[in-house]
Each structure stands twice: as C-alpha cells, then as structure tokens.
Amino acid sequence: MQKITPFLWFDNQAEEAMNFYISIFKDSKVNRVSRYGEAGPGTPGTVMSVEFSLSGTNFYALNGGPLFQFSPATSFFIHCETQEEVDHYWNKLGEGGKPNQCGWLDDKFGVTWQVVPNALGRYLNDPDRKKAKNVMQAMMKMTKLDIGKLQEAYEQA
C-alpha cells in the first residue's frame, strides 16, 4: 500500500476529473466510487468521493463543495523521456485549461501539472554552469518545454 496518497478537493467534478485523468495516463484505473447515502450531507446517490490510480500512483478525490480551490502552490510533476510524451501530456491535460510558463499548466479543473522532460534536469545540473545557465534562459521563454530547443541551448554554451 502507498504510504502517502494525494487528496484532491473538487466542488462537484471528482468523478469527471478522475475519468479525464485515467483517459490520459497509461496503466490507470478506477479503484472505487463512493456515493452519498440518506445520511448526507450530499444528495443521496450522488458521488461523494472517488479513488483511482494514475500510472501506479493512487489518488483520492472528494466532492467537497466550493469552499477550497486549487493553486499552483501544489502541482503534479510528470517525468517525460521524449518530446512525444511531453506533447501527449501537455496537449491532453491542457484541453480546456491554461498554459503557464516553464512547462506548467492548469487543467480544466484548476489542477496544476508540470510536464517536464528528464533532459531538463540533466542540463540544469550540469557542472558547466554556462551550459546550465543557457538552458535556464531558454526554458524561461517557453510554455510547453521543447527538448530540441533545450538541447540547442545546452550545446551553444
């Protein structure tokens, strides 16, 4: 069993969000859907919470009402090996959402994701600080990260 499980608070879109996410990530599934009963506080039969797995990570989501909203202060970091992966997650999660700088985006539910190629970490941690600086400057100009452009910046140093 996973020791720590991300918990997401939605107004009333937990099931919709879960179905959206499992359609995007490989090896994902619905684990459980719990509905309100006669005791409430929600309308009997409506979704109270959902549990699901995305690429082997379990999530729990609650329809808790409009009291809380998501913010970029908490985000989910997606490790991508190829540009094809970056494009897939960026395009799918970005449908109806909002792109942000440096590979960050807010999906249509307001959840923030970081779609990041693994190459970025290698480049930024290079002992040659000029190379790392060039990559950082290139990244700061991007919304969706482009591995080819990051590599060009790295090689230009």
pLDDT tens digits, one per residue of 86-133: 999 999 999 999 999 999 999 999 999 999 999 999 999 999 999 999
| 52: Cβ contacts below 8 Å, ≥ 6 apart | 18, 21, 22, 28, 29, 30, 31, 58, 59, 61
Assign residue 109 the CATH number of its domain. 3.10.180.10
Burial class (CB in 10 A: 0-12, 13-18, 19+), 40: exposed
Strands of 7-10's sheet in order across: 7-10, 57-63, 47-54, 29-35
Residue ranges making up the domain that contains 58: 1-66
Residue 82 and residue 115 in one domain: yes
Residue 86 and residue 44 in one domain: no
Residue 54 and residue 76 in one domain: no
CB 149 within 8 A of CB 156: no
74 pLDDT tier (thresholds 50, 70, 90): very high
The whole-model pTM stands at 0.94
